[in-house]
A and B are shown apart, each in its own frame.
Chain A
Amino acid sequence: MADFQTPALREYPIIPLLHEGTMAHSRPFVAKPEHQASVGFPGELVENWEQKAVDKLGELVSKSRALQVFLDSCVKCGACTDKCHYYLGTEDPKNMPVARQDLLRSVYRRYFTFAGKYFPKLVGARDMTKDVLDEWYTYFHQCSQCRRCSVFCPYGIDTAEISMAARDVMDHVGLGQKYSNEIIGKLHKIGNNLGLPEPALRDTLEGLEEDVKDETGVDVKFPLDVKGADILLITPSADFFAEPHIDGLIGYAKVFHAAGASWTISSYASEAANFSMFIGSHDNLRKVALRIRKAALDLGVKRIIFGECGHAWRVAYSFLNTLAGPFEFLDPKYPVPQHICEYTYDLIQRGKLNFDKSANDNLVVTFHDSCNVSRASRMGDMPGGQFKIPREVIKACVNNFHDMAPDTINESTYCCGGGGGLLTDDLMELRVKGAMPRMQALKEVVDEHGVNHVAAICAICKSQYTKVLPYYKFEMDMIGSVHGLVSKAIRLNPVND
């Protein structure tokens, strides 16, 4: 464990006193020239970068009315100040959403507003200097773009948009973050964040078929690159690699099996994640999304279903059609795309799945709402479906379920602390401290209701929990996939048709 203090969990949550500069040292590794090149950005700080950064900011503002409104409309009311998990966990005032926004807003004001151009000091406008750039790099990599603050902002100012814009500007002048940019480059080259080539993927999937056969005696298939399959499953590559993610993948396969569905994974588009959103890069966002379109066309599928990945579902639900549509070649009877929880929920509603809930009787379960699912998308055809549907799927599979405190779930959910491109070891202090509000809420249900399992539908959340739970004296295997619970409880009767 690293050399920092894990925040204390208290009897009840408090708003901490300010400690200026406690996280001023936190900087993720800088992308190397080859990582930058792989995503189309200059390898190092370019000549005349100050002017280029200002020009880029101007371009972004002129293209996005939303960004301009967010930069113009803050009245410093303070409603957001205590809503950020990173502020609550680090006590650094620059992690208050308004302060984070102002890092960029002050530069915007200097170059793009009348008052800032002529009376910069009066309006807190700042020149684009190296100190400012360094501060951006530090504090815009302490925002997981979870958008909790925007729920509480009376103007709806979305800090995530500002943080994405700042990262985009930095990338354009040659200052990128290694973690995100290396991964996006790998995705362009190999098809997934891990760099998992087709033979390894095939081997892993075959291994899973054996495992499930050993466990259940049933031939559950994990098809890869099957032309003419009805359903294309797009899932985070962590589902092929990490624990507890892989239990979720096994769950999806069992559901497809029980439904008698024809489905396939694509080795070309073997990734749901699209980190391009984290760095605010539209070009990369589109390039990644187009892989999914190409795979769907090449395999001739009728439907696209996304596995458990938080930000991927935002990209899928909110942007896929504009990025890579229209999907007129898919079956119009089904939503494009569909979430695996919607798919499983629908089967449950229609009585198509059988469960033995007692298989999960060793667990008292709570559900962690992932930011991007909760605040940037929906499931099903009713408001709040993104909260209800995963919970209904869980409740169909377990006898013991308790939600965490109301102000920490649904649209007010706390980030796991690792979202938005921050799930990297070089930000471990930030990740542990940022997890504090979530861990505080978890501790309450652990103490009061004996909760011993957290289910989630996001690969980042699952990995982040695995890492930070032990810092808060919880077992690392307390976190699981929603479809891991499904996998345990589902009874695999022979397919009828």
Chain B
Amino acid sequence: MGTINVSGKDIEVDEEGYLVNRSDWTEAVGTEMAKIDNCDLTQNHWEVINFLREYYDEYQIAPAVRVLTKAIGKKLGADKGNSKYLYELFPYGPAKQACKYAGLPKPTGCV
């Protein structure tokens, strides 16, 4: 357990840096988490993060990688609708890394 400091406020995160309370999330929190991983969030990152948050609100789970790539392909063009593109944005794995910045729990299981 630890905390990260965002605009003067301490926010609780778990051992791997995922938010403990999902309601603590703000864009600034996502940006700070990415900064800790030496990752600058661009508009392209935010497209993914925002989609994850919308999907999570509806289904209480992150989308399958395939669902994510399809949605991003529709939004940003077919050349970006593949996991290679997502891995370029989130080299630690789109499901896990993007979920972290989106304030969602880490996907568990054989993934």
In the assembled complex, B36 has its CB within 8 A of some CB on chain A: no
Q: Which residues of A contact B87 (CB under 8 A)?
A: 476
Contact pick for A197, options B16, B60, B65, B96, CB 8 Å: B60
Q: How far does the alpha carbon of A199 sit from the alpha carbon of B109 in the complex, in Å?
A: 19
In the assembled complex, B7 has its CB within 8 A of some CB on chain A: no
**CB distance A186 to B64 under 8 Å?**
no
**CB distance B109 to A237 under 8 Å?**
yes
**CB distance A273 to B109 under 8 Å?**
yes
Q: How far does the alpha carbon of A178 sit from the alpha carbon of B12 in the complex, in Å?
A: 18
**CB distance A241 to B59 under 8 Å?**
no
In the assembled complex, A298 has its CB within 8 A of some CB on chain B: no
In the assembled complex, B48 has its CB within 8 A of some CB on chain A: no
**CB distance A194 to B107 under 8 Å?**
yes
In the assembled complex, A204 has its CB within 8 A of some CB on chain B: yes
Q: Which residues of B contact A237 (CB under 8 A)?
A: 109-110
Given A200-B59, A425-B16, A426-B15, A193 and B109 touching (CB < 8 A)? Answer: yes
Chain A's closest residue to B56 (CB) is A200
**CB distance A197 to B59 under 8 Å?**
yes
**CB distance B108 to A242 under 8 Å?**
no
**CB distance B15 to A241 under 8 Å?**
no
**CB distance B111 to A242 under 8 Å?**
yes
**CB distance B61 to A196 under 8 Å?**
yes
Q: Which residues of A contact B108 (CB under 8 A)?
A: 179, 182-183, 186, 193-195
**CB distance A238 to B109 under 8 Å?**
yes
A 186-208 contacts with B by CB, 8 A: 186, 192-197, 199-200, 203-204, 207-208
Chain B's closest residue to A29 (CB) is B15
Q: How far does the alpha carbon of A361 sit from the alpha carbon of B16 in the complex, in Å?
A: 42
Q: Which residues of A contact B83 (CB under 8 A)?
A: 243, 477
Given A197-B60, A200-B61, A192 and B66 touching (CB < 8 A)? Answer: no
Q: Which residues of B contact A106 (CB under 8 A)?
A: none
Provide the A239-257 mask, 1 if CB < 8 A to any CB of B, else 0: 0111101100000000000
In the assembled complex, A412 has its CB within 8 A of some CB on chain B: no
In the assembled complex, B70 has its CB within 8 A of some CB on chain A: yes
Q: Which residues of B contact A193 (CB under 8 A)?
A: 108-110
**CB distance A463 to B110 under 8 Å?**
yes
**Most chain A beta-carbon contacts within 10 A, residue among B67, B109, B110:** B110
Q: How far does the alpha carbon of A199 sit from the alpha carbon of B60 in the complex, in Å?
A: 9
A 430-477 contacts with B by CB, 8 A: 459-460, 462-463, 467, 476-477
B 63-111 contacts with A by CB, 8 A: 63-67, 70, 83-84, 87, 93, 95-96, 107-111
Chain B interface residue number, banded: 20 to 34
Expressed in whole angstroms, the minimum distance between the Cβ of A301 and any Cβ of chain B is 24
Contact pick for B65, options A203, A236, A243, A459, CB 8 Å: A243
**CB distance A242 to B110 under 8 Å?**
yes
Q: How far does the alpha carbon of A199 sit from the alpha carbon of B57 in the complex, in Å?
A: 12
In the assembled complex, A423 has its CB within 8 A of some CB on chain B: yes
Provide the A201-217 mask, 1 if CB < 8 A to any CB of B, else 0: 00110011001000000
Q: How far does the alpha carbon of A275 sit from the alpha carbon of B58 in the complex, in Å?
A: 28
Q: Which residues of B contact A200 (CB under 8 A)?
A: 59-61, 63
**CB distance B110 to A195 under 8 Å?**
no
Provide the B6-22 mask, 1 if CB < 8 A to any CB of A, else 0: 00000000011000000
Given A204-B67, A246-B66, A241 and B107 touching (CB < 8 A)? Answer: yes
Q: Which residues of B contact A240 (CB under 8 A)?
A: 64
Q: How far does the alpha carbon of A241 sit from the alpha carbon of B109 in the complex, in Å?
A: 10
Chain B's closest residue to A205 (CB) is B64
Given A199-B59, A204-B64, A207-B66, A425 and B96 touching (CB < 8 A)? Answer: yes
**CB distance B66 to A183 under 8 Å?**
no
Q: How far does the alpha carbon of A15 sit from the alpha carbon of B61 in the complex, in Å?
A: 45
Q: How far does the alpha carbon of A477 sit from the alpha carbon of B84 in the complex, in Å?
A: 9
Q: Which residues of A contact B61 (CB under 8 A)?
A: 194-197, 200
Chain B's closest residue to A310 (CB) is B110
Q: Which residues of A contact B109 (CB under 8 A)?
A: 183, 192-194, 236-238, 241, 273, 459
Q: Which residues of B contact A194 (CB under 8 A)?
A: 61, 107-109, 111
15 additional A-B pairs beyond A242-B65, A246-B64, beta carbons within 8 Å, are A195-B61, A195-B108, A197-B59, A197-B60, A200-B61, A200-B63, A208-B66, A237-B109, A238-B109, A238-B110, A241-B65, A243-B83, A273-B110, A425-B96, A459-B109
26 contacts between A and B (CB under 8 A): A29-B16, A183-B108, A192-B109, A193-B108, A193-B110, A194-B108, A194-B111, A197-B61, A199-B58, A204-B64, A204-B66, A204-B67, A236-B109, A236-B110, A237-B109, A237-B110, A242-B65, A242-B95, A243-B83, A246-B66, A273-B110, A425-B16, A425-B96, A463-B111, A467-B93, A476-B87
Question: Residues of A at under 8 Å CB distance from B?
Answer: 29, 179, 182-183, 186, 192-197, 199-200, 203-204, 207-208, 211, 236-238, 240-243, 245-246, 273, 309, 423, 425-426, 459-460, 462-463, 467, 476-477
Q: Which 9 A-B residue pairs are closest in the complex by CB-CB distance?
A: A193-B109, A459-B110, A200-B59, A238-B110, A242-B111, A241-B64, A194-B109, A200-B61, A460-B110
